[in-house]
Structure 1
Amino acid sequence: MSEVFEGYERQYCELSANLSKKCTAAGALGGEQKKQNVSEIKNGIDEAESLIRKMDLEARSLQPNVKVVLLAKLREYKSDLNNLKSEVKRLVTGNLNAAARDELLESGMADTLTASADQKARLMVSTERLDKTSGRIKEGRRTMLETEELGVSILHDLHSQRQSLLHTQNTLHGVDDNIGKSKRILTSISRRISKNKWMIGSIIAVLVIIILVILYFKLVK
């Protein structure tokens, strides 16, 4: 077997083992450390591919019986390298998914905060409107109560005035009755006075006649 091939093979095996450890470790990392580790693994894979190409060239330059054995090993190393590449892709995809998830979470959080701010603003506007409406309702109720009190006071005054008018009407009826009675009394008195005047006049006339008769008889005798 070629010593050159063995040297490349030894370097590849060490490098492959180191890359496998780094892939395992990168799975537990996050953020910038994971990105740096993945970048180092990619560089190691490039170096491993270079070693495989060198081993391939070296194996093809050897005798057929040796070449067949070495090319079989190379197929195993290439398969191992493909597995490492798949692991790196998984790590990179995980980073992209995590980044996308973080971006979505940040976007969702921003949308949530925006929505929350909008809801809060709408809630404040609604609360302010409710306060204003409540204030108007209270003011309207106060005005209604004042109007009701004023109406009650007016009704009370009207009732008092009605009672006063009824009392005045009753008083006027009483006055009319008294005036009628007084008129009848005065009429009766006036009639009596007239009657008395006639009686007095008659008495005076009779007395005058009697005096004249008496004077006549005295004069004649």
Structure 2
Amino acid sequence: MSHVFEGYERQYCELSANLSKKCTSASILDGEQKKQKVSEIKTGIDEAESLIRKMDLEARSLQPNVKAVLLAKLREYKSDLNNLKTEVKRITSANPSQAARDELLESGMADALTVSANQRTRLMMSTERLNQSSDRVKESRRTMLETEELGVSILQDLHQQRQSLLHAHNTLHGVDDNIGRSKKILTNISRRMNRNKWIIGTIIAVLVVAIVLILYFKLK
């Protein structure tokens, strides 16, 4: 529970008890003493109303579960304050029937204020639930945007990897072309070497035959 609320609550309880005592003493007084006592009571009631407003503001700024408990207390304090106001009007009224009528009017006003307070509490709770839903929607939207940014980043990475793979494929294709050309060159060189071998062999064979023929004719 809020320490600020507890401080206001303690002040109100002390003030309410003091006002009740003053009302009891004022009911047996007459003349100027009664007027002075009633004036003190009205000043105290104004101070009590100020404390209740402060408690109400403090309670509505807290968590929902704590706020509900504190607002229930506030309804009791408001009812207690209304009773004090009724008692003051009874003391200040010279006509008993007028005092009874004022008490009935005050009771009806208190019931109306209670209904209004309940409606306002429900409205505040509905507004708070709406705000919570709005916060959840904002959180979902933020998560969606983060997911979208992550998806875009992944797509960019995949695009870069695709470009790298295409570059590597083109490089390999160029290497294959170079290997093919080198293979053709080596094949041509091999063919020329084989052809040169046959030519050299033929020349050697012709030379051998020529030498044999020369030796034959010389010896003959």
**Which residue in the other structure is 2:101 paired with?**
100
Structure 1 residues 108 and 167: alpha-carbon distance in aligned structure 2, compared to 1, 3 A threshold? same
**Which residue in the other structure is 1:168 paired with?**
168
Where structure 1 has 5 or more consecutive residues not aligned to the other structure, the ranges are 1-29, 36-94
Structure 1 residues 130 and 32: alpha-carbon distance in aligned structure 2, compared to 1, 3 A threshold? closer
TM-score normalised by L of structure 1: 0.51
**Which residue in the other structure is 1:136 paired with?**
136
Counterpart code for 1:199: I
Counterpart code for 1:182: S
Deviations 1:84-136 (A, max 9, x none): xxxxxxxxxxx36x633541332122222x22321232133223313321331
* Alignment: residue pair count: 131
Q: CA deviation at 1:154?
A: 1.1
List structure 1 runs of 4+ shifted beyond 6 angstroms: none
Q: Percent of pairs identical after alignment?
A: 63
Q: CA deviation at 1:163?
A: 0.6
**Which residue in the other structure is 1:118 paired with?**
118
Structure 2 residue 35 is the aligned partner of structure 1 residue 34: no
Structure 2 residue 201 is the aligned partner of structure 1 residue 213: no
Deviations 1:50-92 (A, max 9, x none): xxxxxxxxxxxxxxxxxxxxxxxxxxxxxxxxxxxxxxxxxxx
Separation in structure 2 between the aligned mates of residue 204 and residue 134 of structure 1, nearest angstrom: 103
Q: CA deviation at 1:150?
A: 1.1
**Which residue in the other structure is 1:201 paired with?**
201
Counterpart code for 1:198: W
Deviations 1:130-158 (A, max 9, x none): 33213312321221122112111111111
Q: CA deviation at 1:31?
A: 6.3
Q: CA deviation at 1:165?
A: 2.0
RMSD of aligned alpha carbons: 2.5
**SS of equivalent residue, structure 1 residue 211:** helix
TM-score normalised by L of structure 2: 0.52
Structure 1 residues 197 and 162: alpha-carbon distance in aligned structure 2, compared to 1, 3 A threshold? same
Counterpart code for 1:136: R
Counterpart code for 2:95: K
> Any residues of structure 2 matched to 1:26-105 within 5 Å, and which?
33-35=94-96, 95=97, 99-105=100-106
Counterpart code for 2:157: D
Separation in structure 1 between the aligned mates of residue 219 and residue 128 of structure 2, nearest angstrom: 131
